[in-house]
Amino acid sequence: MGLFLSVLGRDLRLALRQSSDSLIVVGFFVVTVVLFPFGVGPEVSVLERISAGVLWVTALLASMLSLDRIFQQDYEDGSLDLLTRAPAPLTGIVLAKILAHWLTTALPLVVAAPVLAVLLQMSPEGFSALVAALLLGTPTLSLIGAVGAALVLGARRGGVLVSLLILPLYVPVLIFGVSAVDGAASGFAVASQFQIMGAILLVSLVVCPLAAAMALRQALE
């Protein structure tokens, strides 16, 4: 537990001292979302219809872009070698690093999302569902993403490769996330979507750190 907190603290400190990295991810999110009205036209009805999907897909891409931050630097400077030799389960350390990644990249996206929802003319009933769905869904994205990030350590063109590996695995989160927001915006009950997203999160919470830890051990063999 102590090691968990110290790894978490270390990653958070590193992210804060290079806070431009987090800002770039939010910047990407904002700029990409703003591009959509240019692409599909400024009609309110069209924007309102696609707002949930656009926000989710863009948030998913933004969180994917920052995945190399989880392990890449530690892999290159050798601190990952030391972390795998620490007197604690690697799974816990991996979980701490994933949590740090989520706090520094996904959380700013969740904060920015309602503002962008206003720009996309989403109906106000959807706002709380949007924040709640992102809060419940983005940890899953970070968890799955960490497996991909660990798998491509040392690969040629790892950054592009990781998108091919993990985007198909993001599909369920995307479907239920968008459906929860869309449903809430049009006034339907969306409890089941949230329950399923919670279930997916719990399963990933068990499986992904294990798989990522295995992938790290392979990478350092």
Please give the residue ranges that form the binding site for another protein (CB under 8 A). 147-148, 151-152, 154-158, 161, 164-165, 167-169, 171-172, 175-176, 179, 196, 200, 203, 207-208, 211, 214-215, 218-219, 221
Interior/surface letters 168-206, b for 16+ CB within 10 angstroms, e for the rest: ebbeebbebbbbbbbbbbeeeebeebbebbeebbeebee
- For the bound state, the minimum distance from the C-beta of residue 68 to another protein, rounded and expressed in Å, comes to 14
In whole angstroms, how far apart are CA 136 and each of 107, 129, 192, 209? 11, 10, 13, 17
Distance (Å, rounded) from C-alpha 114 to C-alpha 51? Answer: 11
Burial class (CB in 10 A: 0-12, 13-18, 19+), 54: buried
Q: Closer to another protein by CB, 103 or 214: give it.
A: 214
- For the bound state, the minimum distance from the C-beta of residue 133 to another protein, rounded and expressed in Å, comes to 14
- For the bound state, the minimum distance from the C-beta of residue 162 to another protein, rounded and expressed in Å, comes to 9
Q: Closer to another protein by CB, 126 or 148: give it.
A: 148
Q: Closer to another protein by CB, 132 or 219: give it.
A: 219
- For the bound state, the minimum distance from the C-beta of residue 148 to another protein, rounded and expressed in Å, comes to 8
Q: Closer to another protein by CB, 108 or 159: give it.
A: 159
Distance (Å, rounded) from C-alpha 22 to C-alpha 101? Answer: 10
- For the bound state, the minimum distance from the C-beta of residue 107 to another protein, rounded and expressed in Å, comes to 25
Q: Closer to another protein by CB, 126 or 177: give it.
A: 177
Closest CA to 138 of 164, 112, 118, 165: 112
Q: Closer to another protein by CB, 15 or 208: give it.
A: 208
- For the bound state, the minimum distance from the C-beta of residue 149 to another protein, rounded and expressed in Å, comes to 12
Provide the sign of the torsion angle of the four alpha carbons 65, 67, 73, 76, taken in this order.
negative
- In the Cβ-directed half-sphere of 111, how many Cα atoms lie within 13 Å? 12
